[in-house]
Amino acid sequence: MSKIASNLQIDSARLWDTIHETAKFGATPKGGVRRLTLGPEDKQVRDWFREACETAGLEVHVDALGSMFGLRRGRDMTKPPVGLGSHLDTQPTGGKYDGVLGTLAALEVVRTLNDAGIETETPLCICNWTNEEGSRFAPATMASAAYAGEYTTDNILARKDATGVTVGEALDGIGYRGSEAVGARKFGAFVELHIEQGPLLEAEHKTIGVVDRGQGIIWYDGKITGFESHAGTTPMPLRRDALAALSEIVLAVERIAKAHGPNAVGTVGEAVIAAPSRNVIPGEIAFTTDIRSPNSETLEAIDRELREAMAGIAARRRVEIGFEAIWRKPPTIFNPKLVDAVENSTKALGYSHRRITSGAGHDACNLATVVPAAMIFVPCKDGVSHNELEDATQADCTAGANVLMHTVLALAGVAS
């Protein structure tokens, strides 16, 4: 690599300003961001991203699921590009960094290479994947999963949000149903920078997490059917209370995940009483469950034990419990050569680091099934994410973007 390229640093202030500039799209009063997939704020940030890519000289392409790709030409256009990026959608009460850092750091890498006049050997492609979060439309990371061939495009287009709007309708609503076939754009490698979203790096005072694994995930849709009746007149032994059953389910999820700890987690994150009323015993409740572990056998054991626990609760409380797995993501093992490439650039830049398992799902986990992929983590304050309080330092974001740039340069090569 040329001396210029090996000493190159991204523009920290520009990256920081860019992160805060986009945080206005969907800004919440508590300092977070609410930018639900394919909603009006997602359109605003997409339009902004498209313009920023074009200004940086990138050719922007959009696929049939709305994922955005900004192509920077390389010396050898017969080679597939190195992909880098993440997502710009957020949780309903999300923060400023989850996904945003990786996408805007990818843009910053391109801007830095442009300023330094560096041409890479292979092209680069910066990505904004549609619906990483999975909170408006399930499952999470659906567009990169379709890219990797796990679902057909039509299957994803037909998924509905809670109000019955399909992904296809939502894409048309904001004008982001692109013409490129999903999966048609091939990468030679893919690298994603992200905040850790957990407490390990901060606790150990490490700047960079070299991610070598990702947890497996199962998502469930659950439904409890009991019987609505009068809160004043129905004797306790005669009740078929769906909410009392849910309470037992929540505690069972917690107990079973803890019993498989420390490398297992389980959460009931949503529960909706169909017709809530203070003086009606709840008769119908929809709920969701999320379980994760880096180990497939542990995940399967939790699945089995949860089903047994639910059968017991249903029988004892005389309610029906439907519990359907709607998403199964096996654990990810990132490509060892790419993981080494991340570690080598981290060492060359002199940042403290450790190997780490991703607790969250990421688009890179889907990409890893079809192309060598890797991830870079930086610390976030108190390990908090999926919260408006999510925070990270400018120094750590800058370090992560530098590792991203030097990993990408090592993979793409610098044209002489």
Contact positions vs ligand GLV (CB under 6 A): 133-134, 140, 360-361
Which residue sits closest to ligand GLV, CB atoms considered? Answer: 360
Which residue sits closest to Mn ion, CB atoms considered? Answer: 99
Closer to ligand GLV by Cβ: residue 140 or 249? 140
**Residue 26 interacting entry, from Mn ion, ligand GLV, none, C-beta within 5 to 8 Å by type:** none
Q: Which two tokens stand for residue 337?
A: 């050569």
Taking CB under 5 A as the binding criterion, the range among 95-103, 172-180, 182-190, 242-250 that sits at the site for Mn ion is: 95-103
Q: Cis omega (within 30 of 0) on the bond before 139? A: yes
What is the nearest approach in angstroms of ligand GLV to the Cβ of residue 217?
A: 7
**Residue 361 interacting entry, from ligand GLV, Mn ion, none, C-beta within 5 to 8 Å by type:** ligand GLV
Neighbours of 93 (CB within 10 A): 16
> What is the three-state SS of 279-334?
CEECCEEEEEEEEEECCHHHHHHHHHHHHHHHHHHHHHHCCEEEEEEEEEECCEEC
Closer to ligand GLV by Cβ: residue 218 or 360? 360
What is the nearest approach in angstroms of ligand GLV to the Cβ of residue 134?
A: 6
Q: Rule CB under 5 A: say whether 85 interacts with Mn ion.
A: no
Q: What is the DSSP letter of 180?
A: B
Contact 159, 152 (CB under 8 A): no
Place of tokens 């994150």: 269
Q: Give the CA distances from residue 31 to residues 96, 100, 131, 240, in Å, rounded to whole numbers and listed in that order.
A: 8, 15, 22, 42
Q: Which two tokens stand for residue 111?
A: 């801007």
**Residue 196 interacting entry, from ligand GLV, Mn ion, none, C-beta within 5 to 8 Å by type:** none
Closer to ligand GLV by Cβ: residue 178 or 361? 361
Contact 308, 321 (CB under 8 A): no
What is the nearest approach in angstroms of ligand GLV to the Cβ of residue 84?
A: 19
What is the nearest approach in angstroms of Mn ion to the Cβ of residue 195?
A: 8
What is the nearest approach in angstroms of ligand GLV to the Cβ of residue 87?
A: 9
Closer to Mn ion by Cβ: residue 37 or 398? 37
**Residue 99 interacting entry, from Mn ion, ligand GLV, none, C-beta within 5 to 8 Å by type:** Mn ion
Closer to ligand GLV by Cβ: residue 132 or 202? 132
Range 99-118, binding Mn ion (CB under 5 A): 99
**Residue 331 interacting entry, from ligand GLV, Mn ion, none, C-beta within 5 to 8 Å by type:** none
What is the nearest approach in angstroms of ligand GLV to the Cβ of residue 99?
A: 8
3-state DSSP percent of the chain in helix, strand and coil, to 5: 40, 25, 40
How large is the angle between the packed helices 394-412 and 12-22, nearest 10 degrees? 110
> 41, 98, 212, 241: which one contacts Mn ion (CB under 5 A)?
98
Within 13 Å and on the Cβ side, how many CA atoms surround 257? Answer: 19
Q: Give the CA distances from residue 139 to residues 7, 167, 280, 327, in Å, rounded to whole numbers and listed in that order.
A: 41, 12, 33, 6
Closer to Mn ion by Cβ: residue 74 or 102? 102
Distance CA 361, CA 139 (A): 11
Closer to ligand GLV by Cβ: residue 206 or 386? 386
Please, which residues bridge with residue 210 across strands? 355, 376
Taking CB under 5 A as the binding criterion, the range among 91-99, 373-381, 389-397, 403-411 that sits at the site for Mn ion is: 91-99
**Residue 95 interacting entry, from Mn ion, ligand GLV, none, C-beta within 5 to 8 Å by type:** none
Q: Which residues bind Mn ion (CB under 5 A)?
A: 98-99
